[in-house]
Amino acid sequence: AVGHDLRQPLAALNVLLASLSSRRTGREARALLDQMDASVKSIDGMLTSLLSAAKLDAGMEPVIAPVALLPLCQRLCDEVRAAARGRGNQFIVECGDVIIDTDEKMLESILRNLLMNAAKYTRNGQITLSSYLTSEHLILSVEDTGQGIESDKQQHIFDEFTQIGKHDDSYLTGFGLGLSIASRTAKLLGFDLQVQSQPGEGSCFSLSIPRRQVSEDIYAAGSGGPQSDDSEQGKACVVVISSDPALRTTLGEWLARWKYRAITMSETAGPGQGLTGGCPDLVILDDLPGSAVERILPQADSDIPTIILSESAVPDDVSANRLGKPPKPAKLRALIRNLLEKSKVRPV
């Protein structure tokens, strides 16, 4: 609540700046608007760091759920690229199509802090976010070709309020909390964060994630759509209940490609309509009242795994089995697999 109250004035400023920026202005006025925009971004970044540190101090607990790595990394690189525009850096994503059982918001915070740190100290260079698997870990690395870190300072870079170099952009100014927050969050998740650096050559921050939290069988989320795996054998029956014909068709196609036995039906369907071979193993449905589900699937067990699709503005809440409508295919597939594994039904 406090964070929301603090962000409201910044949100209002952003709206005003966007309104002013959309108008025709002279060169001097445009320069002033750019400086104001940079200052607001700087304040927002510092506020985010302070709120993150406060949450860690308050004993924030992780919410573990399956996270698709590749789309997360692509989105974060796009975000940081836009924030650091004008510095001439090339961003490269070389991450595998894996699922990690972790807290998505915390992992996102770690990677965003590492990417912003790389952008802060790199100009006209290259920033690479990559991953590789070993027998015991998934290694996530953020590597840059920036100014690097002197060896006597490397042991202190994860300390609070530590600035490790010089940069020339006001919007990147902060309290020196980013790397401290990344390190503390990594420890909370059971990860290990290390750095290797050479002055004048760049730095590489590596996050080690236990192999037991990683699965490799996810389609290439960056390829534009869900792909099937020829090694998959359909075992589970998934029922889709929605008032949207286009959504029913789309989800039915995705489930078929993922080798599930898919049954789609309207919320006005009669009891058990179209069902064969017993109860479904999992249900995907619009945000309907429980009575509607009981009417359509009277024979379904009350403990059947269920994914709710909602049109509300509330972000995806994987821990509550609730996704936006339409759902992101990578996140939906990961959640289906996780729920079926928990219910002892073999996922595909």
Domain at 284, CATH number = 3.40.50.2300
Instruction: List Cα–Cα distances, 120 to 39, 142, 161, in angstroms.
Output: 15, 13, 16
**Global confidence as pTM:** 0.55
Indicate if 67 and 208 belong to the same structural domain: yes
Cα–Cα distance for residue pair 59/97, rounded to 1 Å: 32
- Tell me whether residue 220 is in a domain: no
Contact (Cβ atoms closer than 8 angstroms) between residue 214 and residue 100: yes
Contact (Cβ atoms closer than 8 angstroms) between residue 299 and residue 185: no
Region for 277 from its dihedrals, namely left if φ exceeds 0, alpha if ψ lies in -120 to 50, beta otherwise: left
Residue 50 belongs to what domain range? 1-60
Domain end (from 169, 189, 215): 215
Indicate if 121 and 43 belong to the same structural domain: no
Q: What is the DSSP letter of 135?
A: S
Give average pLDDT by consecutive 10-residue segment, the chain, 348 residues: 61 73 75 72 64 70 87 88 84 89 89 90 93 89 92 77 56 62 89 91 93 67 40 68 84 86 77 57 78 59 80 63 80 85 66
The pLDDT of residue 204: 93
The pLDDT of residue 223: 37
The pLDDT of residue 6: 63
Indicate if 82 and 56 belong to the same structural domain: no
Give the count of domains, the chain: 3
Contact (Cβ atoms closer than 8 angstroms) between residue 334 and residue 68: yes
Indicate if 249 and 326 belong to the same structural domain: yes
Indicate if 287 and 151 belong to the same structural domain: no
Cα–Cα distance for residue pair 190/22, rounded to 1 Å: 46
Indicate if 155 and 256 belong to the same structural domain: no
Indicate if 35 and 69 belong to the same structural domain: no
Domain end (from 60, 76, 105): 60
Contact (Cβ atoms closer than 8 angstroms) between residue 282 and residue 340: yes
Domain end (from 160, 192, 215): 215
Indicate if 126 and 143 belong to the same structural domain: yes
